[in-house]
Amino acid sequence: MGKKSGRVLLVDDDEDVLHAARLFLKQHVETIHIEKSPQTIPALLKNESYDVILLDMNFTRDVSSGSEGFYWLNKILEIDHSAVVILITAYGDVQMAVRAIKEGATDFILKPWQNEKLLATLSAALNLRWSLVEVDSLRSRQKQLSADLDKPFHNFIGISSAMQQIFATIQKVSKTEANVLILGENGTGKELVARELHRQSPRTNEVFISVDIGSISETLFESELFGHVKGAFTDARENRAGRFEIASGGTLFLDEIGNLPLHLQAKLLTVLEKRRVIRLGTNKPIPIDVRLVCATNMSIQEMVTEKKFRQDLLYRINTVEINLPPLRERLEDIPLLVEHFLEIYSKKYKKSIMRASPTALKKLQKYNWPGNVRELLHTIERVVIMSDSEILQPSDFFFSAPETKEEYITFENYNLEEAEKVLIRKAISKHGGNISQAAKELGLTRTSLYRRLEKYGL
Protein backbone atom coordinates (compact mmCIF):
# COMPACT_ATOMS: atom_id res chain seq x y z
CA MET A 1 0.00 0.00 0.00
CA GLY A 2 3.07 2.28 0.07
CA LYS A 3 2.95 5.26 2.46
CA LYS A 4 0.68 4.65 5.44
CA SER A 5 -2.71 6.29 4.99
CA GLY A 6 -6.33 5.68 5.85
CA ARG A 7 -8.38 5.35 9.04
CA VAL A 8 -9.77 1.87 9.68
CA LEU A 9 -12.26 0.54 12.26
CA LEU A 10 -12.40 -3.21 13.02
CA VAL A 11 -15.39 -4.57 14.98
CA ASP A 12 -15.19 -8.22 16.06
CA ASP A 13 -16.07 -10.02 19.32
CA ASP A 14 -12.98 -12.26 19.07
CA GLU A 15 -10.19 -10.49 20.98
CA ASP A 16 -7.50 -12.65 19.35
CA VAL A 17 -8.70 -11.56 15.91
CA LEU A 18 -8.78 -7.91 17.01
CA HIS A 19 -5.24 -7.83 18.32
CA ALA A 20 -3.77 -9.90 15.47
CA ALA A 21 -5.41 -7.63 12.88
CA ARG A 22 -4.30 -4.51 14.75
CA LEU A 23 -0.66 -5.66 14.89
CA PHE A 24 -0.68 -6.40 11.17
CA LEU A 25 -2.67 -3.39 9.88
CA LYS A 26 -0.91 -0.70 11.94
CA GLN A 27 2.12 -1.33 9.70
CA HIS A 28 0.07 -0.34 6.64
CA VAL A 29 -2.57 2.22 7.65
CA GLU A 30 -2.40 5.56 9.45
CA THR A 31 -4.96 4.64 12.14
CA ILE A 32 -6.52 1.34 13.20
CA HIS A 33 -9.22 1.31 15.90
CA ILE A 34 -10.55 -1.96 17.30
CA GLU A 35 -13.87 -2.54 19.09
CA LYS A 36 -15.32 -5.71 20.57
CA SER A 37 -18.98 -4.64 20.69
CA PRO A 38 -20.96 -3.38 17.68
CA GLN A 39 -23.13 -1.34 20.10
CA THR A 40 -20.37 1.30 20.14
CA ILE A 41 -20.61 1.89 16.37
CA PRO A 42 -23.13 4.82 16.36
CA ALA A 43 -21.13 6.81 18.95
CA LEU A 44 -17.85 6.11 17.14
CA LEU A 45 -19.22 7.26 13.77
CA LYS A 46 -20.60 10.44 15.35
CA ASN A 47 -17.21 11.54 16.63
CA GLU A 48 -14.75 9.90 14.24
CA SER A 49 -14.35 9.51 10.50
CA TYR A 50 -13.28 6.14 9.11
CA ASP A 51 -12.27 5.35 5.58
CA VAL A 52 -13.02 1.63 5.89
CA ILE A 53 -14.96 -0.40 8.45
CA LEU A 54 -14.15 -4.11 8.86
CA LEU A 55 -17.27 -5.67 10.42
CA ASP A 56 -17.71 -9.20 11.74
CA MET A 57 -20.87 -10.91 10.43
CA ASN A 58 -21.53 -12.99 13.56
CA PHE A 59 -21.47 -11.99 17.21
CA THR A 60 -22.07 -14.05 20.35
CA ARG A 61 -25.88 -13.75 20.23
CA ASP A 62 -26.02 -15.17 16.71
CA VAL A 63 -23.19 -17.50 15.85
CA SER A 64 -23.64 -18.33 12.17
CA SER A 65 -26.61 -16.69 10.39
CA GLY A 66 -24.94 -13.33 9.84
CA SER A 67 -28.11 -11.44 10.77
CA GLU A 68 -26.29 -9.22 13.31
CA GLY A 69 -23.72 -8.32 10.67
CA PHE A 70 -26.43 -7.33 8.21
CA TYR A 71 -28.20 -5.29 10.92
CA TRP A 72 -25.05 -3.30 11.73
CA LEU A 73 -24.19 -2.93 8.05
CA ASN A 74 -27.55 -1.22 7.48
CA LYS A 75 -27.12 0.90 10.62
CA ILE A 76 -23.68 2.10 9.44
CA LEU A 77 -25.02 3.02 6.00
CA GLU A 78 -27.90 4.94 7.63
CA ILE A 79 -25.37 7.05 9.53
CA ASP A 80 -22.94 7.50 6.61
CA HIS A 81 -24.31 6.69 3.16
CA SER A 82 -20.80 6.72 1.67
CA ALA A 83 -19.28 4.36 4.28
CA VAL A 84 -17.11 1.57 2.91
CA VAL A 85 -17.76 -1.69 4.80
CA ILE A 86 -15.99 -5.02 4.43
CA LEU A 87 -17.87 -7.91 6.07
CA ILE A 88 -15.96 -10.74 7.78
CA THR A 89 -17.19 -14.23 8.70
CA ALA A 90 -15.97 -17.71 9.36
CA TYR A 91 -19.20 -19.12 7.93
CA GLY A 92 -19.27 -17.36 4.60
CA ASP A 93 -20.72 -18.75 1.43
CA VAL A 94 -21.54 -17.37 -2.00
CA GLN A 95 -25.19 -16.66 -1.16
CA MET A 96 -24.28 -14.63 1.92
CA ALA A 97 -21.60 -12.76 -0.02
CA VAL A 98 -24.07 -11.82 -2.77
CA ARG A 99 -26.61 -10.60 -0.20
CA ALA A 100 -23.91 -8.54 1.58
CA ILE A 101 -22.96 -6.76 -1.65
CA LYS A 102 -26.62 -6.14 -2.50
CA GLU A 103 -27.18 -4.56 0.91
CA GLY A 104 -24.31 -2.15 0.49
CA ALA A 105 -21.12 -3.93 1.57
CA THR A 106 -18.05 -3.19 -0.49
CA ASP A 107 -16.45 -6.62 -0.15
CA PHE A 108 -16.48 -9.85 1.82
CA ILE A 109 -13.61 -11.82 3.34
CA LEU A 110 -13.43 -15.15 5.22
CA LYS A 111 -11.75 -16.00 8.51
CA PRO A 112 -9.04 -17.09 8.86
CA TRP A 113 -7.78 -14.67 6.22
CA GLN A 114 -4.46 -14.51 4.45
CA ASN A 115 -2.67 -11.25 5.21
CA GLU A 116 -1.95 -10.58 1.54
CA LYS A 117 -5.65 -11.04 0.69
CA LEU A 118 -6.74 -8.78 3.55
CA LEU A 119 -4.26 -6.09 2.52
CA ALA A 120 -5.32 -6.18 -1.14
CA THR A 121 -9.03 -5.98 -0.20
CA LEU A 122 -8.37 -3.12 2.21
CA SER A 123 -6.30 -1.19 -0.35
CA ALA A 124 -9.09 -1.40 -2.94
CA ALA A 125 -11.65 -0.34 -0.33
CA LEU A 126 -9.56 2.71 0.69
CA ASN A 127 -9.30 3.82 -2.93
CA LEU A 128 -13.07 3.46 -3.29
CA ARG A 129 -13.71 5.50 -0.13
CA TRP A 130 -11.49 8.36 -1.29
CA SER A 131 -13.27 8.38 -4.64
CA LEU A 132 -16.69 8.52 -2.92
CA VAL A 133 -15.58 11.39 -0.68
CA GLU A 134 -14.31 13.30 -3.71
CA VAL A 135 -17.57 12.70 -5.59
CA ASP A 136 -19.56 13.92 -2.56
CA SER A 137 -17.45 17.06 -2.38
CA LEU A 138 -17.81 17.69 -6.11
CA ARG A 139 -21.57 17.16 -5.90
CA SER A 140 -21.88 19.72 -3.09
CA ARG A 141 -19.71 22.16 -5.02
CA GLN A 142 -21.75 21.64 -8.17
CA LYS A 143 -25.04 22.37 -6.38
CA GLN A 144 -23.66 25.61 -5.00
CA LEU A 145 -21.99 26.58 -8.28
CA SER A 146 -25.21 26.04 -10.19
CA ALA A 147 -26.92 28.52 -7.88
CA ASP A 148 -24.06 31.01 -8.16
CA LEU A 149 -23.35 30.87 -11.89
CA ASP A 150 -26.49 32.72 -13.00
CA LYS A 151 -24.99 36.16 -12.52
CA PRO A 152 -25.82 38.87 -15.09
CA PHE A 153 -22.36 40.47 -15.27
CA HIS A 154 -18.87 39.15 -14.76
CA ASN A 155 -16.93 42.41 -14.78
CA PHE A 156 -17.37 46.03 -13.82
CA ILE A 157 -16.67 49.30 -15.60
CA GLY A 158 -15.34 52.77 -14.85
CA ILE A 159 -13.11 55.49 -16.24
CA SER A 160 -13.38 57.81 -13.21
CA SER A 161 -10.30 58.37 -11.06
CA ALA A 162 -12.13 56.79 -8.11
CA MET A 163 -12.68 53.56 -10.06
CA GLN A 164 -9.16 53.56 -11.45
CA GLN A 165 -7.89 53.57 -7.87
CA ILE A 166 -10.18 50.64 -7.07
CA PHE A 167 -8.84 48.70 -10.07
CA ALA A 168 -5.24 49.38 -9.00
CA THR A 169 -5.96 48.18 -5.47
CA ILE A 170 -7.59 44.99 -6.75
CA GLN A 171 -4.60 44.28 -8.96
CA LYS A 172 -2.22 44.58 -5.99
CA VAL A 173 -4.31 42.71 -3.44
CA SER A 174 -5.64 39.88 -5.62
CA LYS A 175 -2.22 38.22 -5.92
CA THR A 176 -1.99 37.83 -2.13
CA GLU A 177 -3.89 35.72 0.39
CA ALA A 178 -4.92 38.83 2.37
CA ASN A 179 -8.49 38.93 3.65
CA VAL A 180 -10.40 41.87 2.14
CA LEU A 181 -13.29 43.95 3.48
CA ILE A 182 -15.31 45.81 0.82
CA LEU A 183 -17.28 48.83 2.04
CA GLY A 184 -19.93 50.71 0.09
CA GLU A 185 -23.59 51.57 -0.23
CA ASN A 186 -26.10 49.07 -1.60
CA GLY A 187 -25.81 48.68 -5.35
CA THR A 188 -22.23 49.91 -5.72
CA GLY A 189 -20.91 46.56 -6.96
CA LYS A 190 -19.32 44.96 -3.89
CA GLU A 191 -19.84 41.41 -5.17
CA LEU A 192 -18.33 42.34 -8.54
CA VAL A 193 -15.19 43.50 -6.72
CA ALA A 194 -15.09 40.23 -4.77
CA ARG A 195 -15.40 38.21 -7.99
CA GLU A 196 -12.68 40.27 -9.65
CA LEU A 197 -10.37 39.69 -6.65
CA HIS A 198 -10.96 35.96 -7.14
CA ARG A 199 -10.58 36.08 -10.93
CA GLN A 200 -7.16 37.75 -10.69
CA SER A 201 -5.95 35.55 -7.81
CA PRO A 202 -3.93 32.31 -7.86
CA ARG A 203 -7.21 30.61 -6.86
CA THR A 204 -8.96 31.62 -10.09
CA ASN A 205 -9.42 27.99 -11.20
CA GLU A 206 -11.04 27.05 -7.89
CA VAL A 207 -14.55 27.85 -6.67
CA PHE A 208 -16.00 31.25 -5.75
CA ILE A 209 -18.80 30.88 -3.21
CA SER A 210 -21.04 33.82 -2.29
CA VAL A 211 -23.09 33.93 0.91
CA ASP A 212 -25.58 36.69 1.78
CA ILE A 213 -25.34 36.75 5.57
CA GLY A 214 -28.43 38.98 5.78
CA SER A 215 -30.61 36.32 4.16
CA ILE A 216 -29.61 33.47 6.50
CA SER A 217 -31.59 33.08 9.72
CA GLU A 218 -29.65 32.73 12.97
CA THR A 219 -30.90 29.17 13.43
CA LEU A 220 -29.53 28.09 10.03
CA PHE A 221 -26.27 30.04 10.12
CA GLU A 222 -24.06 27.23 11.46
CA SER A 223 -25.64 24.63 9.18
CA GLU A 224 -25.23 26.82 6.08
CA LEU A 225 -21.65 27.88 6.77
CA PHE A 226 -20.22 24.91 8.66
CA GLY A 227 -22.43 22.04 7.42
CA HIS A 228 -24.28 19.29 9.27
CA VAL A 229 -24.51 15.51 9.47
CA LYS A 230 -27.64 13.46 9.00
CA GLY A 231 -29.88 13.68 12.07
CA ALA A 232 -28.23 16.81 13.49
CA PHE A 233 -31.66 18.46 13.58
CA THR A 234 -35.21 17.68 12.45
CA ASP A 235 -34.79 18.40 8.72
CA ALA A 236 -31.20 17.10 8.42
CA ARG A 237 -31.99 14.13 6.17
CA GLU A 238 -28.47 13.76 4.76
CA ASN A 239 -24.90 14.85 5.37
CA ARG A 240 -24.28 18.31 3.95
CA ALA A 241 -21.09 20.27 3.48
CA GLY A 242 -21.21 23.91 4.60
CA ARG A 243 -20.08 26.88 2.51
CA PHE A 244 -16.62 26.89 4.10
CA GLU A 245 -16.04 23.27 3.06
CA ILE A 246 -17.41 23.85 -0.42
CA ALA A 247 -15.22 26.94 -0.87
CA SER A 248 -12.07 25.23 0.42
CA GLY A 249 -9.25 25.87 -2.02
CA GLY A 250 -11.09 28.87 -3.47
CA THR A 251 -12.67 32.14 -2.32
CA LEU A 252 -15.55 32.61 0.14
CA PHE A 253 -17.47 35.89 -0.12
CA LEU A 254 -19.53 36.84 2.95
CA ASP A 255 -21.84 39.69 1.94
CA GLU A 256 -23.51 41.95 4.53
CA ILE A 257 -21.17 40.75 7.30
CA GLY A 258 -22.41 43.64 9.47
CA ASN A 259 -25.74 41.80 9.92
CA LEU A 260 -24.10 38.97 11.86
CA PRO A 261 -25.17 38.85 15.55
CA LEU A 262 -22.41 38.99 18.18
CA HIS A 263 -22.71 35.36 19.33
CA LEU A 264 -22.34 34.15 15.74
CA GLN A 265 -19.43 36.53 15.18
CA ALA A 266 -17.59 34.59 17.91
CA LYS A 267 -18.18 31.28 16.08
CA LEU A 268 -17.01 32.74 12.78
CA LEU A 269 -13.87 34.10 14.46
CA THR A 270 -13.06 30.67 15.88
CA VAL A 271 -13.29 29.09 12.41
CA LEU A 272 -11.06 31.78 10.89
CA GLU A 273 -8.46 31.43 13.65
CA LYS A 274 -8.34 27.63 13.66
CA ARG A 275 -8.93 27.25 9.89
CA ARG A 276 -11.26 24.34 10.44
CA VAL A 277 -15.00 23.73 10.77
CA ILE A 278 -17.06 21.27 12.78
CA ARG A 279 -20.32 20.18 11.19
CA LEU A 280 -23.45 20.33 13.36
CA GLY A 281 -24.11 16.96 14.97
CA THR A 282 -20.48 15.86 15.22
CA ASN A 283 -17.24 16.76 16.97
CA LYS A 284 -14.94 16.01 14.04
CA PRO A 285 -12.92 19.02 12.85
CA ILE A 286 -12.56 19.46 9.08
CA PRO A 287 -9.62 21.57 7.85
CA ILE A 288 -10.50 24.37 5.42
CA ASP A 289 -8.44 26.59 3.15
CA VAL A 290 -10.35 29.67 1.97
CA ARG A 291 -9.46 33.17 0.86
CA LEU A 292 -12.02 35.32 2.70
CA VAL A 293 -13.64 38.42 1.22
CA CYS A 294 -16.35 40.24 3.20
CA ALA A 295 -18.59 43.22 2.43
CA THR A 296 -21.00 45.52 4.23
CA ASN A 297 -22.95 48.70 3.62
CA MET A 298 -22.85 49.53 7.33
CA SER A 299 -20.42 51.77 9.21
CA ILE A 300 -18.42 48.89 10.66
CA GLN A 301 -16.09 51.10 12.72
CA GLU A 302 -19.07 52.72 14.43
CA MET A 303 -20.49 49.27 15.14
CA VAL A 304 -17.19 48.33 16.85
CA THR A 305 -17.38 51.52 18.94
CA GLU A 306 -20.96 50.69 19.91
CA LYS A 307 -19.98 47.08 20.80
CA LYS A 308 -22.14 45.66 17.99
CA PHE A 309 -19.23 44.18 16.06
CA ARG A 310 -16.20 42.41 17.52
CA GLN A 311 -12.99 44.33 17.05
CA ASP A 312 -10.93 41.12 16.89
CA LEU A 313 -13.15 39.83 14.07
CA LEU A 314 -12.78 43.14 12.21
CA TYR A 315 -8.98 42.84 12.45
CA ARG A 316 -9.26 39.32 11.06
CA ILE A 317 -11.40 40.22 8.02
CA ASN A 318 -9.99 43.59 6.96
CA THR A 319 -6.31 43.10 6.25
CA VAL A 320 -7.14 45.36 3.28
CA GLU A 321 -10.18 47.64 2.96
CA ILE A 322 -11.68 48.67 -0.36
CA ASN A 323 -14.15 51.59 -0.25
CA LEU A 324 -16.49 51.71 -3.25
CA PRO A 325 -17.72 55.18 -4.22
CA PRO A 326 -21.46 55.75 -4.79
CA LEU A 327 -22.54 56.40 -8.38
CA ARG A 328 -23.27 60.08 -7.61
CA GLU A 329 -19.53 60.52 -6.98
CA ARG A 330 -18.50 58.99 -10.32
CA LEU A 331 -20.93 60.61 -12.75
CA GLU A 332 -18.42 60.45 -15.60
CA ASP A 333 -18.89 56.65 -15.59
CA ILE A 334 -22.62 56.87 -16.36
CA PRO A 335 -22.32 57.09 -20.21
CA LEU A 336 -20.06 54.02 -20.26
CA LEU A 337 -22.35 52.07 -17.91
CA VAL A 338 -25.43 53.04 -19.95
CA GLU A 339 -23.76 51.83 -23.15
CA HIS A 340 -22.80 48.56 -21.48
CA PHE A 341 -26.29 47.88 -20.04
CA LEU A 342 -28.00 48.88 -23.31
CA GLU A 343 -25.94 46.34 -25.21
CA ILE A 344 -26.86 43.58 -22.75
CA TYR A 345 -30.60 44.28 -22.56
CA SER A 346 -31.04 45.08 -26.25
CA LYS A 347 -29.76 41.58 -27.00
CA LYS A 348 -31.82 40.02 -24.21
CA TYR A 349 -35.09 41.61 -25.36
CA LYS A 350 -34.23 41.57 -29.09
CA LYS A 351 -34.49 45.36 -29.44
CA SER A 352 -32.56 47.60 -31.85
CA ILE A 353 -31.86 50.38 -29.33
CA MET A 354 -28.47 51.86 -30.23
CA ARG A 355 -27.71 54.53 -27.65
CA ALA A 356 -28.96 57.24 -25.31
CA SER A 357 -29.02 60.79 -26.61
CA PRO A 358 -26.69 63.42 -25.05
CA THR A 359 -29.65 65.14 -23.38
CA ALA A 360 -30.82 61.81 -21.95
CA LEU A 361 -27.33 61.19 -20.55
CA LYS A 362 -27.31 64.67 -18.99
CA LYS A 363 -30.61 63.88 -17.29
CA LEU A 364 -29.15 60.65 -15.94
CA GLN A 365 -26.08 62.50 -14.65
CA LYS A 366 -28.25 64.99 -12.75
CA TYR A 367 -30.10 62.27 -10.87
CA ASN A 368 -28.83 61.32 -7.39
CA TRP A 369 -28.98 57.50 -7.86
CA PRO A 370 -29.72 56.40 -4.27
CA GLY A 371 -29.70 52.80 -5.51
CA ASN A 372 -26.35 53.32 -7.29
CA VAL A 373 -25.28 51.14 -10.24
CA ARG A 374 -27.94 48.52 -9.45
CA GLU A 375 -30.63 51.17 -9.82
CA LEU A 376 -29.12 52.35 -13.11
CA LEU A 377 -29.07 48.75 -14.37
CA HIS A 378 -32.77 48.22 -13.58
CA THR A 379 -33.62 51.63 -15.05
CA ILE A 380 -31.96 50.74 -18.35
CA GLU A 381 -33.66 47.33 -18.43
CA ARG A 382 -37.06 48.93 -17.87
CA VAL A 383 -36.48 51.57 -20.55
CA VAL A 384 -35.33 48.97 -23.09
CA ILE A 385 -38.51 46.96 -22.47
CA MET A 386 -40.80 49.99 -22.80
CA SER A 387 -39.13 52.00 -25.57
CA ASP A 388 -39.72 51.60 -29.31
CA SER A 389 -37.01 54.12 -30.29
CA GLU A 390 -33.48 53.40 -31.44
CA ILE A 391 -32.18 56.45 -29.57
CA LEU A 392 -33.35 57.05 -26.01
CA GLN A 393 -34.53 60.53 -25.09
CA PRO A 394 -34.95 62.27 -21.68
CA SER A 395 -38.69 61.54 -21.82
CA ASP A 396 -37.92 57.81 -21.74
CA PHE A 397 -36.63 58.11 -18.18
CA PHE A 398 -38.88 58.63 -15.15
CA PHE A 399 -37.66 58.94 -11.57
CA SER A 400 -39.75 58.81 -8.43
CA ALA A 401 -37.12 60.65 -6.41
CA PRO A 402 -35.87 64.21 -7.05
CA GLU A 403 -33.65 64.28 -10.15
CA THR A 404 -31.09 66.82 -8.99
CA LYS A 405 -28.57 66.52 -6.26
CA GLU A 406 -29.37 70.05 -5.02
CA GLU A 407 -32.30 70.26 -2.62
CA TYR A 408 -33.29 73.70 -1.37
CA ILE A 409 -34.18 73.80 2.30
CA THR A 410 -36.11 76.75 3.68
CA PHE A 411 -36.33 77.78 7.32
CA GLU A 412 -39.14 79.68 8.98
CA ASN A 413 -36.57 81.49 11.14
CA TYR A 414 -32.86 81.38 11.86
CA ASN A 415 -33.05 79.73 15.27
CA LEU A 416 -30.17 77.20 15.27
CA GLU A 417 -32.10 74.48 17.12
CA GLU A 418 -35.04 74.77 14.71
CA ALA A 419 -32.64 74.66 11.74
CA GLU A 420 -30.97 71.56 13.19
CA LYS A 421 -34.36 69.86 13.59
CA VAL A 422 -35.19 70.54 9.92
CA LEU A 423 -31.82 69.19 8.75
CA ILE A 424 -32.13 66.05 10.86
CA ARG A 425 -35.65 65.35 9.55
CA LYS A 426 -34.49 65.88 5.95
CA ALA A 427 -31.48 63.58 6.36
CA ILE A 428 -33.50 60.80 7.95
CA SER A 429 -36.22 61.10 5.30
CA LYS A 430 -33.66 61.10 2.48
CA HIS A 431 -32.11 57.87 3.73
CA GLY A 432 -35.41 56.13 4.41
CA GLY A 433 -34.98 56.09 8.20
CA ASN A 434 -31.44 54.64 8.08
CA ILE A 435 -29.81 56.28 11.11
CA SER A 436 -26.25 55.29 10.13
CA GLN A 437 -26.46 56.91 6.69
CA ALA A 438 -28.32 59.97 8.01
CA ALA A 439 -25.68 60.46 10.72
CA LYS A 440 -22.89 60.13 8.14
CA GLU A 441 -24.44 62.80 5.91
CA LEU A 442 -24.90 65.14 8.90
CA GLY A 443 -21.30 64.60 9.97
CA LEU A 444 -22.36 62.98 13.26
CA THR A 445 -21.85 59.63 14.94
CA ARG A 446 -24.92 57.43 15.40
CA THR A 447 -24.74 58.07 19.16
CA SER A 448 -24.68 61.85 18.64
CA LEU A 449 -27.65 61.66 16.26
CA TYR A 450 -29.64 59.55 18.73
CA ARG A 451 -28.95 62.14 21.45
CA ARG A 452 -30.32 64.91 19.21
CA LEU A 453 -33.38 62.85 18.29
CA GLU A 454 -34.12 62.37 21.99
CA LYS A 455 -33.39 66.05 22.71
CA TYR A 456 -35.81 67.29 20.05
CA GLY A 457 -38.39 64.54 20.55
CA LEU A 458 -38.05 63.42 16.91
Helix axes of 115-149 and 15-25: crossing angle, nearest 10 degrees? 70
Output the pLDDT for position 10.
Answer: 92
Verdict on whether the full-model pTM lies above 0.85: no
Output the pLDDT for position 52.
Answer: 92
Which residues of the chain fall short of a pLDDT of 50?
149-154, 402-406
Task: Give 317-341 pLDDT, tens digit per residue.
Answer: 999 999 999 999 999 999 999 999 9
Side chain identity at residue 361, one-letter code: L
- How many distinct structural domains can be found in the chain? 4
Q: Do 220 and 332 belong to one domain?
A: no
Output the pLDDT for position 93.
Answer: 62
Output the pLDDT for position 400.
Answer: 65
Q: In this structure, is residue 155 part of a structural domain? A: no
Output the pLDDT for position 165.
Answer: 93
Q: In this structure, is residue 228 part of a structural domain? A: yes
Which of 133, 148, 182 is where one domain is finished? 133
**CATH classification of the domain holding 437:** 1.10.10
61: domain range?
A: 7-133
**CATH classification of the domain holding 340:** 1.10.8.60
- The one-character DSSP state at 27 is T
Q: Are 210 and 194 in contact (CB under 8 A)?
A: yes
Distance CA 31, CA 76 (A): 19
Q: Do 57 and 197 belong to one domain?
A: no
**CATH classification of the domain holding 184:** 3.40.50.300
- The one-character DSSP state at 326 is P
**CATH classification of the domain holding 123:** 3.40.50.2300
Q: Greatest CA separation found in the chain? A: 102
Q: In this structure, is residue 308 part of a structural domain? A: yes
Output the pLDDT for position 406.
Answer: 47
Output the pLDDT for position 264.
Answer: 93
Side chain identity at residue 45, one-letter code: L
- The one-character DSSP state at 255 is E
Output the pLDDT for position 179.
Answer: 95
Q: Are 303 and 446 in contact (CB under 8 A)?
A: no
Distances from the Cα of 209 to the Cαs of 34, 231, 234, 290, 410, in angstroms? 40, 26, 26, 10, 50
What are φ and ψ of residue 309, in 5° steps? Answer: -140, 135
Q: Do 166 and 306 belong to one domain?
A: yes
Q: Do 128 and 269 belong to one domain?
A: no
Closest CA to 106 of 59, 39, 55: 55
Q: Do 198 and 338 belong to one domain?
A: no
Q: In this structure, is residue 206 part of a structural domain? A: yes
